[in-house]
Amino acid sequence: MNSKILKSISSESKWKIIESLAKKEMSATELAKHFRTSLSNISQQISELESLNMIKKAGIKKGARRPFVKYSLDKGFIFFAEAVPKEARKIFLDVDENVKIHLRIWSIPQKEFHYFVESFWWKLQDYLDNIVSFAIFGSVAKGNAREDSDIDVLLIAKKNAKELDKRFSAKIVGLKEKGKMTMSQVFSPADFEEALKESKFAEQIISSMIVIYDKNDFLYNLREKYG
């Protein structure tokens, strides 16, 4: 089964379908139109991906003339390949929140900041019940940070945003001699959405951010709405 999945994700056309369905539900007709290809071609590829449990039927929607099926990713999957001296492996991993968070941290362009963002993440653990979202923005997210750059952090808090701001507004993570300064902007969900309507700074945050933790897709939905 893994070899068939690997073959599918190596196919450019199938991967484009997977990318599209990761973003939103789409019908076969919508996919065919988006990729400017025939409905029969898309339908065949959808059938193959569905047989491998990579995508699934998300439901039947009412159309102008007749109902149609929408598709989405299934549970999702993670695949990575490693080839270094004395080690070589290809691994499929089950998707869980912990793995997704680490992959998001590793997606930060400059790897020298990964350790410090991960250290900050562990400092948040005692406060997760009150945290809706955590994202990195600014130069570290863009990949043009200097060695001495601060790490800009966005935190969305369910309540007591001021209390969280006092604790995390400026915090050194890592060893003191070689630590990095994190500078957090803390908002309630309502305040951040209001800031997006009024502030260029909030717009800049949402356009450059790398989302690390996002309960109920709060930041993803805002980026789709305002980005």
Q: Each residue of 118-143: pLDDT tens digit?
A: 999 999 999 999 999 999 999 999 99
Instruction: Report d(CA 134, CA 177) in Å as an integer.
Output: 26
The domain spans of the chain are: 2-73, 97-226
Tell me the whole-structure pTM to 2 decimals: 0.82
| Cβ neighbours of residue 162 closer than 8 Å, sequence gap 6 or more | 186
Instruction: Report d(CA 46, CA 31) in Å as an integer.
Output: 10
pLDDT at residue 18 is higher than 80: yes
pLDDT at residue 203 is higher than 80: yes
Q: Each residue of 87-111: pLDDT tens digit?
A: 999 888 888 899 999 999 999 999 9
What is the CATH class of 97-226? Answer: alpha beta
Provide the pLDDT for residue 62: 77
DSSP state of 174: S
Alpha helices by DSSP H, listed for the chain, are 2-10, 12-23, 28-35, 39-51, 97-106, 114-123, 139-142, 161-168, 189-198, 200-208, 218-226
Q: Each residue of 53-84: pLDDT tens digit?
A: 999 999 888 777 778 899 999 988 888 888 99
CATH, domain range 2-73:
1.10.10.10
Provide the pLDDT for residue 165: 94
